[in-house]
Structure 1
Amino acid sequence: MSTALGTNTAAALAVEERSLAHNYSPLPVVIASGSGATVADVDGRTYLDGLAAYSAVNFGHGNPRLLAAARAQLDRVTLTSRAFVNDQLGPFAAGLASLTGTDMVLPMNTGAEAVESAIKVSRAWGYRVKGVPAGQATIIVASGNFHGRTTTIVSFSDDPAAHDDFGPYTPGFRTVPYGDADALREAMDETVVAVLLEPIQGEGGVVIPPASYLPAVRDICDEFGALFVADEIQSGLGRTGHTLAVSRVGVRPDLITLGKALGGGIVPVSAVVGSREVLGVLRPGEHGSTFGGNPLAAAVGSEVVAMLGEGTFQRRALDGEPLLRGLLDDLVGQGVVAHRVAGLWAGIDIDPALGTGKQISQDLADRGVLVKDTHGSTIRFAPPLVVTDDEIRLAIGALGDVLHARSA
């Protein structure tokens, strides 16, 4: 049973209910401030943040280095558009390319924009380089995918909540089972310009494919002359213990989409990074964004790149993984059916008899831990990478308490 709402929380929720479109169903927590891995609501109650804004706050709330970079740029210039060159974008692009081992950067704002951009680039490359006949380019995607919610992207979603009632749908996509290299090979033909995959499916419940899968995808793409596009918007930038999740299995995609943590939890920043041979197909005027690559975003992004270049956050995720995995192992059979862990990222399947993922998430919020459900009785745990071992123990201990109470 949920605890009673505080006076300020109840008032804020009433305003939101009246004034906002109901495209989200959030937990009844109204956050007013945050520091590190914790947040506080409008009634002064504190919580451990176990979601980190879907990994957008990997470096913690109120990170002093990121705030300093943003404040310094706010006093200079924040937006010029790409009609002119600003002094922050070039260094940001060079730094991000170096960090990711790529040649070029296409800056955008949101994750969905990065995916849309990668789709456009892949099609242009297919027509201009591979020689696919006009209008026939095919992109292969995986079942259980989540790449955003634009009309093009939901056209190849198999999640009814994202897909249904938003047609007519954009053609040109073919879906294969995630993690099945044989099925991918069977789906390939001369019209395929790209294979678009999440190295780890975050929204799907932190689904980790077999270790052989991504290398096989790389080989199949090479064999059929197609691009491998990795969506690292949630999995990238330290979350799994590596700068990129593909590095866990030593794979190098042709294009990588980045977002969320790239803006440090301060401004929306996304990008497509990749080889010069692929991103170089774009011509002036074919793609753009008024805000993409703006000076404020680039200044914050440069500091993110600098921090990741030091490796501290990647090491923290790697160091925290055994603790998180071990604590969840102890709950298997005690209400946890199964779990999947990569760095400081976990998908936790709860016994459906004990409740839905949202019900478990609400119970955890009542105990001061914020997480998010995915589908059915699966919840995700993805705290800021500054989380301490004691805070991890607190969060998983709270989960144990919730499951014990529900099974009593």
Structure 2
Amino acid sequence: MNVPIKLFAIALVLTGCSSTTENLLSPDGNIEIAITLTDKGEPSYSAKYKGNDIVLPSLLGFVLKDTTSLTDNFKITGIERSDFNESWTPVWGENDSIENCYTQMIVNLQQGDRKMDIEFRAYNDGFGFRYIFPEQTAKAFVIADEATQIAMAGDHTAWWIPGDYDTQEYEYTTSRLSEIRAHADDNFMDNASQQRFSPTGVQTALMLKTNDGLYLNLHEAALVDFPAMSLELNDTTMTFKSHLTPGQGGTIATIHTPFKTPWRTVTVGEKATDILASNLILNLNDPCVLDDVSWIHPTKYMGVWWEMITGKSSWSYTWADNFDLATFDYSKAKPNGIHGANNENVRRYIDFAAEHGFDQLLVEGWNIGWEDWFGKEKDYVFDFVTPYPDFDIA
């Protein structure tokens, strides 16, 4: 990023202040975030846009494995405030330069000898927050669950796909939040690549529209060395809770201090296109650390794929089923006659792409195992090493 145009001094307020609620305004004053410590020492936040609720009081923190959780009994030990404004140049994208203008507040929390800060940044088009674990006596925390909530202020219209660790290959459903459970099976296919974690789980980025016509988008930024976040809805209270992709052994992640989590983000727009035009996620992502970015550029490609979607050809080489794929001899299989990724067809695509200015060609279905759509034997036969008999292009 370029040198900041403007950076104001940080103010530190130590414990002893009379209020357990601190407010943060966006640069234009339209977004107001209230950060509160409840009577139980629980960190909580809420947000308004032009005086109207967009996020109701929502709890923050983490559940730890085999020890006291980082969810309550906190004390505020300090508040750090700052303003920031800069312009920076992206590697590529729609804009030659991006303005990064925000107000910031870091709430320093302490629970016994354990420290956890929560950093909030307010932009004119939304806000983000993340957890910061400073260097401290505890060198590591084993996370069993993230307790972050995003409580909606109404039964909004949502454009959503089911919460699924393995795939985003679903058609989007449009419904009220209260109707997600009823529509959970609408786009579900019983195959190996689809497995929902909850009937009210959804993936981010999640697009919402309030009854007043305000658009909200829930997502995350700077996802580095941490599990990806989906959202699980309590469809009685219309409150989302973060749902992290699980690891092994019943834990989510082990973090080593010092550590910063990804940002949890809420983008706000009065038109749907405001969400599309927002640079909130890009601004919250970490700056590029590469010295040479000349090799990063967009390309145009086409693929031997769409004709399979339309039914003209197939991913699989044969129609054979109800047999042991692990021991199946494809060289003796009867071709189905419409296998798409064959030498002749792929070369036809290559010639067309070269003639019409496409940079790359995606070829799907050239490797064995596509007969097993439902995943009964994919661990043994589906690979990206062994081609079908009719494909031998390097």
TM-score range, shorter chain: under 0.3
TM-score normalised per structure 2 = 0.25
Question: When the two structures are superposed, what TM-score results if normalisation uses the length of structure 1?
Answer: 0.25
Of Structure 1 and Structure 2, the greater helix share is in 1
Q: Which has the higher contact order (CA 8 A, sep 6+)?
A: 1
